[in-house]
Amino acid sequence: MTVNLTSAPDTPLTFHGEMTIYTANEQFQHLQQHLSTHPSLVLDLSGVTELDSAGLQLVLMAHTEATRRNIPFRLHNPSLIVQEVFHLLRLERALMPTTTAPKSGS
Amino acid sequence: MSLNMDAARQAFIEEVAELLQSMEDALLALEDNPADNESLNEVFRAMHTIKGTGGVFGYMPVVEFTHAVESVMEEVRSGREPMSEQLICILFACRDHTSRLIEAIVEMGEDSGKPLSSDLIATGHDLLKQLTQRTLQTTNITPNTPEQPKYLPIVSDVWMIALDFGRNALRNGMDPLSFLRYLGSLGDIVDVVTLSVPPPLNEEFDPESCYLSFRIAFRSDADKPTIAAVFEFAEDDCDIRILPPDSAQDTYLDLLASLSDTQVTRIGEMLVSIGALTPNELARALAHQADERNTDAISETHSEHTANQRLGDILIQQGSIKPAVLEQAAKTQEAARAKRQDETRFIRVDAERLGHLINLVGELVTSSAAIRIMVERAGVENMNEVVDSVDYLVAEIRDNALQLRMVPIGESLSRFRRVVRDTSKELGKNIELVITGGDTELDKTVVEKITDPFMHLIRNAVDHGIESPEERARVGKPVNGTITVNAYHDSGHIVIEIEDDGAGLDVKRIRAKAEAKGLVKPEDTLSHEETLRLIFAPGLSTKDSATNLSGRGVGMDVVRQNIEALRGSVELDSVLGQGTKITIILPLTLAIIDGFLVGAGRDQYVIPLSQVAECVEMKAAGEMLKPHNGHYINLRGEVLPFIRLTELFNNQHTVRHEHRESLVVVRFGHHKVGLVVDTLLGELQTVIKPLGKLFEELRGIAGATILGTGDIALILDVSELAMIGQMKRHHSDLRHS
Amino acid sequence: MAKTIMVVDDSASLRNVVCIALKSAGYDVIEACDGRDALAKLTGQKVHLIVSDVNMPNMDGITLVREVKKLPNYKFTPIMMLTTESQPEKKQQGKEAGAKAWLVKPFQPPVLLDAVSKLVLP
C-alpha cells in the first residue's frame, strides 16, 4: 500500500493495494491529513486490489466528511474490484455521479 | 478430481485401521480397569474421528453407526453412565462392525452409494438395538425429537432485510460485504440502502469499528430460515431483521391455522416453527422484553396474555413479522388452550363406581321419603321445612347423579362405519353411512344394551335394504346406497332413526308370508302400517335366500323385544322401492321411568308408559270368555288374555268395594296382555329402585319406587307379565283342543 | 485474485477432502496438521479464512484461535471451527477465544463450501 500526497488543490489522494481492516487505521490517518491540507477530496482508487467493509467504510466516511465540509468530492478511476463493491451496494450513483457505472442485474 | 479422491479414500481407510486398533487396545485396557479415563477417551475419539471423516466422504452407514456409539461413549465419558462389562462386550462388537463396514466400502470402490448387504445391515441394527436398549435401562432417557417443522416455500416477491452491524463486527473477522455477496447467490438483490453512521466528530471515528447498516430489498424463492442462515455467522455481531414479502404472509397464516395442538406452544416458538420468525429474532425480542420488564417500575401482573401482547409488539416493532401473522398466532394459541382446558375438564371414572353412586342415591331417595312419612305421622310441624329442603336437595342429587352417566351416542354409532364398510364390500355394494346427532346423550347403560339390536338393524339395511349397484342402476337410483343414522332428543327420550334408500319392504310378500305362517287370516284387513309391523313377528323373514350375514331366525322380533326390554319402542315405515325407516325411541336412562300409575287392591303399581297400549273400562271391553277358568276378554273381536293384579299379588281389599275395574292393555313384542286394575292414577316420572336379593325370584316385578305421597309402588315387568299371560293362553289352548 | 483459506486438521484424509472441495471452488488452500503447524505456516502469508478442527495434538483449535488473535496481521482473520454436536462446551470456549463461525462434523463438501462462502467468496 502506498499513499501519494501532493499539495496542489485538486491533487488526488491515492490508495494503492488493499483497503482492508488491516490497512484502515493507516489510510484513515492519510485521509485526515489530506482533508486538513486540501480544499477538495479526490480519491484515486485505480490501484486498489482489495476492498473489504472497513475499506468501504472509509470511502463512505470520506464522502460524508466532504459533504459536511461542503467541499468537492470525486472518485478518480476506481479499479474493477472497487466498482464491483459499489455495484453490489448500489452506490454508483451516490459516489460516482459523473462516471457511468457498469450496468447489470437490476 | 476422482483420482485425488481415490488417494484420499485410501488414506481414510488406513486411518480407520489405526483408529480401530487403538480402540481395541483401549477396550482391552477397560476390561481390566473400567474407570480408565484415557482409554475411555481413546474409544470416544476413534468413533468420533471415523464419524467425522466418514461423513466427509459421504459414507452415511459408517457415520450413522459410529455416531450412535460415540453418543453412548459421550455419556460414559461424562460420568452420566457407568462403564459395564456388558457395554465393553457390545463395544468390541461395534468395533468389529465398523471394520466390516469399511471393508464393504472398500470393495464397492467408486460405487459407495450401493446398498449394504442385508447381513451387514442386520448386524448393525442388532448392535444399535443392544446399545440403545441398554441405554434405556440405565438412564431411561428417550430422546424426544420434535417433528421437523415444514418450512414453507415462498413465491417470488420482495423480502426486506435490515442489517445493523455491531461496532466489533470487523474486528471479529466479519466482513459484511461477504454476507451480501453470498445473499446475491440466493436471489436478486433489488436494491440496497447503505447507511454509514460514524460518530459526528471525526476524532472519534475508529476505522476498525463498524458503523455500517444495510437495508436490502431482496427477491428470492428461498424461505426465511434459508435467508436467515446467510447471516448465521454474523448473529453475534449484527442486528438482523428479515421481513417476509406480503405473499408469504398468507402462507404463514395458513400454516398457523393448521398447526396441530401439540405444536401450539408459546407464541414465539410457534412463529419459529412455521418459519415466520428466526430463532435469533425471537431471542432478541425476548431479551428486549426482559429489559423492559426490569425497567418497569410498576409491578404489573404479567399474565401470559399481556406478555404475549408485548412480545408481539416488540416483534412487529423490530420488523420481524407483520401484525396479521401475529394475530393469527395468538388466535391459534387461544383455540388450543381452550381445547386443552376442555380436556382437563374431564376425568375418567369407573362406570361401576357411578352405578354404585346411583344406587346409593336411589336408597337416599327412599330414605328421605321414609323420613317425610315419619315426620308427618309424628306431627312434628317445625320439621317440615327441614324435610322440604332435604327433599329438594335429594332430588337435585338424583338428577345430577343420573346426568353423570350420560354419554354421547356417537361413539357407539361410529363403530358401525366399519361394519358397513366390511359387509358392503363383502356383498359388492357401495354404501355410505351418514351419522348425524352423534353428540346426543343418553345413559351409558342404555348405550351398551342397544348396540346389539342396532348392529342387527344396520346389517339388515346393508344386506336386505340396499340393492346391488346393478339393480340400483336399473331402477334409476344412484349407484351408491346411503344409510343414515340420526339421533336426537325428544321430550325425555332419545330418538334414533335408521333410514336406508334401499328397496323398501314389499307389503304383499309380508302378507303372504304371514298368512303362510298363520299369523294372519286371509280375510283379515290390515292397514299398511299393521302389515309392516308383521315383520316383528317371530320367524318372518322376507328375504327368500338367507345370507351368512343376517342369517335366519334371529329376526326383527328379537330386536323389538330387546328394545322394549329397555322400555323403548320401535316404529317402522317403508315405501316399496324407496327405502325403509326404522325409528327407535328409548328412555334417556334406565334409572328413571316414565310410568303409568295404577291402583289395585291395597297397593299401587307403575306400568312403563311406553308399553301401555290402551286403557279401557272393563265392563265396556266386551264379554268374558271363560272356557276353562282362563281369563280372556273379547276386545273388539280380539281374544286377549288378562291378569287381575289383585289375584296375581293376592292383595285384595279385605272389605270389597263396589267399583269399576279398568283394563290396561300392555304389549311386549308381539304379545299383548291386559292388566285389570282398580284405579287409574295417571302418568308419572320416577326413579327405579331395584329390589333387594330377597325379591329376585318375584315374577312380574322389575323394581320399586317411592311416590310423592311417600307410598311405595311396585314397578311391573311387562315382559314377564306377558309371558305369564301367554302361558295361560297356551295351557288353555292345549286343554281346549 | 483468489482468496486464501488455511485448513487445519490432524486427519490427513479430512484435510484432503476439504482441500479438494475448496480448490475446486476456486480458493487457494494452505494445509496445516495442527495448531502449532498452522501458526508456523501463517507467517508471511495472506490468509482470508482459517478453517480449523478443535481436537488436535500439539496445539488444539481453541488455543490456535487465541494465538491468531494475538498476531497483528491476522487478528481480524475470520476463523471457522469444525466441531461436533457433542461438544457444546468447546463451542463456548471457542466463541470466547474469538472464533465466530462453526461447522458441525460430519459434513458434506457442499455444506462446507456454503459455509465458507458466507465469510469469503473465492
Residue with the bigger pLDDT between B499 and B351: it is B499
Residues B535 and B425 in one domain: yes
At residue B179, does pLDDT exceed 90? no
Query: How far is Cα B54 from Cα B66, in angstroms, rounded to an integer?
Result: 9
So where are chain A's domains?
Answer: 3-95
At residue C21, does pLDDT exceed 80? yes
Position B456 scores a pLDDT of: 84
At residue B615, does pLDDT exceed 80? yes
At residue B158, does pLDDT exceed 60? yes
Q: Which of B600, B597, B667, B661 is nearest to B638 (CA)?
A: B667
Residues B602 and B723 in one domain: yes
Query: For chain B, how are helix, strand and coil distributed in percent, rounded to 5?
Result: 50, 20, 30
At residue C9, does pLDDT exceed 50? yes
Residue B342 lies in a domain: no
Residues B433 and B580 in one domain: yes
Least confident among B144-153, B221-230, B641-650, B689-698: B144-153
CATH (domain of B464) = 3.30.565.10
Residue B664 lies in a domain: yes
Least confident among B92-96, B111-115, B715-719, C28-32: B111-115
Position B325 scores a pLDDT of: 74
> Chain A residue with minimal CA distance to C3?
A50
At residue B506, does pLDDT exceed 60? yes
Position C30 scores a pLDDT of: 93
> Chain C residue with minimal CA distance to A51?
C1
CATH (domain of B710) = 2.40.50.180
- Of the pLDDT bands very low, low, confident and very high (cuts 50, 70, 90), residue B530 is confident
Compare CB distances from C1 to A21, A22, A49 and report the shortest one's residue.
A49
Most C-contacting residue of A18, A20, A22, A26 (CB-CB within 10 A), to test interface: A22
Question: Which residue is it, cell 329376585?
Answer: B696
**C-alpha cell, B104:** 464393504
Opening angle at CA C119, ends C115 and C121, nearest 5: 95
Compare CB distances from A64 to B184, B189, B196 and report the shortest one's residue.
B196
At residue B492, does pLDDT exceed 70? no
SS3 B564: helix
Given a contact as 3+ CB pairs under 8 Å, which chains touch C?
Answer: A, B
Residues 14-53 of A with CB under 8 A from C: 21-22, 49-50
Number of domains in chain B: 5
Residues B485 and B392 in one domain: no
Position B731 scores a pLDDT of: 52
> Chain C residue with minimal CA distance to B60?
C106
Q: For residue B71, list chain C residues with Cβ-Cβ distance below 8 A.
A: 86
So where are chain C's domains?
Answer: 4-114
Beta-carbon-side half-sphere exposure of residue B589 (alpha carbons within 13 Å): 20
Instruction: Among B76, B104, B139, identify where a domain stops.
Output: B139
Query: How far is Cα B494 from Cα B492, in angstroms, rounded to an integer?
Result: 7
pLDDT in tens, B29-62: 887 788 788 888 888 888 888 887 777 777 778 8
Q: Which amino acid is at B247?
A: S
Residue B344 lies in a domain: no
Position B654 scores a pLDDT of: 63
At residue B299, does pLDDT exceed 60? no
Q: Which CATH superfamily is domain C4-114 in?
A: Response regulator (3.40.50.2300)
Residues B324 and B373 in one domain: no
Position B153 scores a pLDDT of: 36
CATH number of A3-95: 3.30.750.24
ipTM above 0.95, yes or no: no
Show the low-confidence residues of chain A (pLDDT under 50): 6-7, 99-106
- C75 neighbors B168 (Cβ within 8 angstroms): no
Least confident among B432-436, B592-596, C116-120: B592-596
Compare CB distances from C117 to B1, B63, B182 and report the shortest one's residue.
B182
Residue with the bigger pLDDT between B310 and B75: it is B75
* Domain coverage including residue B385: 351-405
Residue B127 lies in a domain: yes
Neighbours of B32 (CB within 10 A): 8
Average pLDDT, chain B: 76
Compare CB distances from C73 to A22, A49, A50 and report the shortest one's residue.
A22
Residues B197 and B313 in one domain: yes
Q: Do B175 and A61 touch (CB under 8 A)?
A: no
Position B92 scores a pLDDT of: 87
Q: Do B232 and C24 touch (CB under 8 A)?
A: no
Q: Do C78 and B175 touch (CB under 8 A)?
A: yes
Q: For residue A57, list chain B residues with Cβ-Cβ distance below 8 A.
A: 170, 196, 198, 207, 210-212
Residues above pLDDT 90, as percent of chain C: 16
Strands A73-76, A41-51: pairing kind: parallel
Residues 21-40 of C with CB under 8 A from B: 24
Q: Do A21 and C1 touch (CB under 8 A)?
A: no
Residues B640 and B697 in one domain: yes
> Chain B residue with minimal CA distance to C79?
B173
Position B402 scores a pLDDT of: 80
Q: Do C76 and A50 touch (CB under 8 A)?
A: no
Query: How far is Cα B150 from Cα B632, in angstroms, rounded to an integer?
Result: 80
User: CA of B319 to nearest chain A CA: how many angstroms apart?
Assistant: 22
Question: Following DSSP, what letter does each residue of B141-181 receive, concatenated?
Answer: ----PPPPP-PPP--S-EEEEEEEE-TTTTTTT--HHHHHH
Residues B398 and B452 in one domain: no
The residues, any chain, with a CB within 8 Å of residue B691's CB and separated by 6 or more, are B698, B701, B703, B704
Residues B544 and B660 in one domain: no
